[in-house]
Amino acid sequence: MWSTVQTHGGREYQEDRFWTHNDGKGIMRAVVCDGHGGFEASEFVTRYLSNPRRKWNMETASSTLSRCVNVWDRKCLRALGCQTLRSFPQTEAERKKLFNAASDECLRIYERHGYISGSTVVMVYLDTKAGIGRVINLGDSRATWKTMKRGERLHATKDHKPKPNQLWGPIEGKITIDPGDSARINGDLAVGRAFGDNSTDLMGTVPSVPDMYDVKWDPTQEFRMVIATDGLWDDVNNSFSIRHAKDPQRLEHEARKQGSTDNVTIVSLVLKP
């Protein structure tokens, strides 16, 4: 079974969201999201992916997330009164024009509903009987996994971080870095890919194409996996997380000990042969 821990950390609001599911027949799924600029985007994508009508699997996980992105983007465009637009603005000028055309009341509703917010996404699908699965990653939340057998390597998703002094995204959002700070897109977002982020400064600049990883292990061996938001990974390394996958509370305490003040959500799994 999945084990979970979630804390506010030093933040006033909890913007992380998660969902886990075990069908009792060997199929396990999980979703972990880290919201930024509000909780609305992380809550929307978690609810969408946890809807029982959407029984996504290894083959359909990525396309299901893509549909979720499209639904959210259409909501944002409709909220701005642009129901006829076929796609998001591809230039900064078009984006500014879109927001300038919206009424003050429309913009207040837009912000009130959290359409400016964004989220990372990690989706996991496991067939525990066959020893196979898939991980979908978007942003800087992370999944780690390992077969607990001598010689087996530890696997982890790659965090999507913007790189300084480079251009990123379809409208070439500028990536800058200030002393003592992380690289940011348009001086704002410190994540290289994400769900949402349809604010005035970011709409259309942040790619939402995830990475996909295949998971394989021998069901006769112990298997461990840890999925968490960056409130854990900023202060705890992959090896430590796998060693203590049985005790996610220990992982959360270690993150606090090392100075984490962010929201922390940890979903862990230990499968015995």
pLDDT at 218: 95
pLDDT < 50: residue spans in the chain: 170-171
Q: What is the mean pLDDT of the chain?
A: 90
From CA 273, how far away is CA 261, in angstroms rounded? 37
Hey, what domains does the chain have and what are their CATH numbers?
A: 3-155+193-271 (3.60.40.10)
pLDDT at 83: 53
From CA 17, how far away is CA 39, in angstroms rounded? 8
pLDDT at 237: 96
Q: How many CB atoms lie within 10 A of CB 39?
A: 20
Whole-angstrom CA distances from 7 to 17, 42, 229, 253 are 11, 16, 11, 10
Give, as one character, the DSSP assignment of residue 171: T
From CA 197, how far away is CA 212, in angstroms rounded? 21
